[in-house]
Amino acid sequence: MTGPPTDLAEAPPKRLHGRAFYQKIGSPKRIVAPMVDASELAWRILSRKYNADAAYSPMLHARLFAETESYRRQSLRYAPTSDTEPALSYDGDHNSDRPFLIQFCANDPQHLLSAAKIAQNHCDAVDLNLGCPQGIARKGHYGAFLQEQPDLIYKLINTLHKELDIPVTAKIRILETKEKTLEYAKMVLDAGASILTVHGRRRDQKSHNTGLADWSYIRYLRDNLPPETVIFANGNILYNADVEACLEVTGADGVMVAETNLYNPAVFMPPTASFEERFPRVDVMVRQYLQIVQDLTFGEGNPVVELSREEAREHASLTCIKSHLFRLLHAVFTRKENHYIRNTLAKATGQRFDEILKLADELEKVVEEQLKLTPETPEQWDEIMKEAGGPGADAKVLRIPWWRCQPYVRPTPQQAYEKGAMRKSKKELDAAAKESKRELDADSAAPSSTEETPAKRQKLEEPQPEQIKGNDQLASLDPNVAG
């Protein structure tokens, strides 16, 4: 990692920076991550209702945001400009949507600056995405695929640091070693980032090969960066207790949660909260979410009407609604008798919001009928929570009833290999073939013996490449969730 370009001299901050800025926005500890088509206004309002302290916008494309008015309208909802406009909530609303940070992906400093200058009046800070590992980020050359260009990263951040009226922050992934990650983090901070969010996975850890986030990297940064550095940790959160564990293990100032927040918005509730508060009924959560979407779209107390496709596109909440509901109801859909609800949802559209409300009515009936058959008791909840373990290879997946919000745990890499969902690359297959040939050659050269040597026994018992990769417990991010 090289140092900053010599032609970019450090400029005195024009605004609060680092920990002073963090304290100004209330020192948030529980943060909704920036997620493509997932952390829009309605979802942020819902998450804040369940104890989220701060939230990021979905990842926005800087050039498109700067140049395309229709994209801006779909991405950012502005405050009313006159008394005659409906008094609807908007992105960055000081009453319902702060602290609020807007995240961009970019690879051009001027495109990023143009977008950030438009956005800066609607948020507390602008964030640069340096963590997205998905194929679209590789193709567009942004996110984690800028790691090999530290000079460009420095210029992207430093340009905002010098030119904006609000702070700039950044979200990164770890590199191959702790030392390289520290050097990377120092460069990002030296460029002017006020908050550093660290996702404890490498760029190649995605999809079925996600594996565990390594909190020890975040702890290493905490111990080796100046104490005034503000760090958000990201990765390995399945349950409420994991948020507190992450804060303790990493020493981070806050914990950012992405996918698990989508499956259970109540993940931010404190561990001292009741089982009911930590794992709400899905029908209750869906009803609360839909009420927020309805109020944002039609106005509080106004009737629901069918919208045209063009009108629906103007409401980010409507374009995201189906993906949110599929995630909230993933456990419901594991039961064959509930597949008709899934099929109804698959045919629904945001344009006909009344149909989605009818689906919520049906969901409530299904849950109520189930609770008549199997009433819940506090003793049952206590028994479930006794199984709770910490994050990592030893974490236990709690037996949460299907009618309650809960995380979705994907197959481990080892399980994915066994099921055929993931295959070894040609490079891995070639390496395995070479290793097998070396072992055969070594066996041929070794003196014959009926007694296997300890060294050879040890060799045979070593884990295979897929087993080495298989130390996984957590779900990988959805393809449309930024990393």
Catalytic positions, written as ranges: 132
440 three-state secondary structure: helix
How far is it, in rounded angstroms, from Cα 211 to Cα 207?
Answer: 9
Cα angle: 41, vertex 367, 331; to 5 degrees = 65
How far is it, in rounded angstroms, from Cα 149 to Cα 163?
Answer: 22
The answer to whether residues 200 and 215 touch, using CB atoms and an 8 Å cutoff, is yes
Element (H, E) at 287: helix 282-298
How far is it, in rounded angstroms, from Cα 58 to Cα 323?
Answer: 14
HSE (side-chain half, CA atoms, 13 Å) at 40: 23
From the list 216, 262, 217, the residue with the least C-alpha distance to 238 is 262
In eight-state DSSP terms, residue 390 is: -
Integer distance in angstroms from the first to the last C-alpha of the chain?
22
Which positions ≥6 away from 47 have C-beta within 8 Å? Answer: 32, 55, 261, 265, 268
Cα angle: 98, vertex 250, 40; to 5 degrees = 30
How far is it, in rounded angstroms, from Cα 381 to Cα 393?
Answer: 24
Q: Residue 76 corresponds to which amino acid?
A: L
How far is it, in rounded angstroms, from Cα 57 to Cα 34?
Answer: 5
**CB-based burial of residue 413 (10 Å sphere; 0-12 exposed, 13-18 middle, 19+ buried)?**
buried
How many residues are listed for the chain in this entry? 483
In eight-state DSSP terms, residue 447 is: P
Tokens of 109: 């400093």
The answer to whether residues 408 and 329 touch, using CB atoms and an 8 Å cutoff, is no
The answer to whether residues 222 and 251 touch, using CB atoms and an 8 Å cutoff, is yes
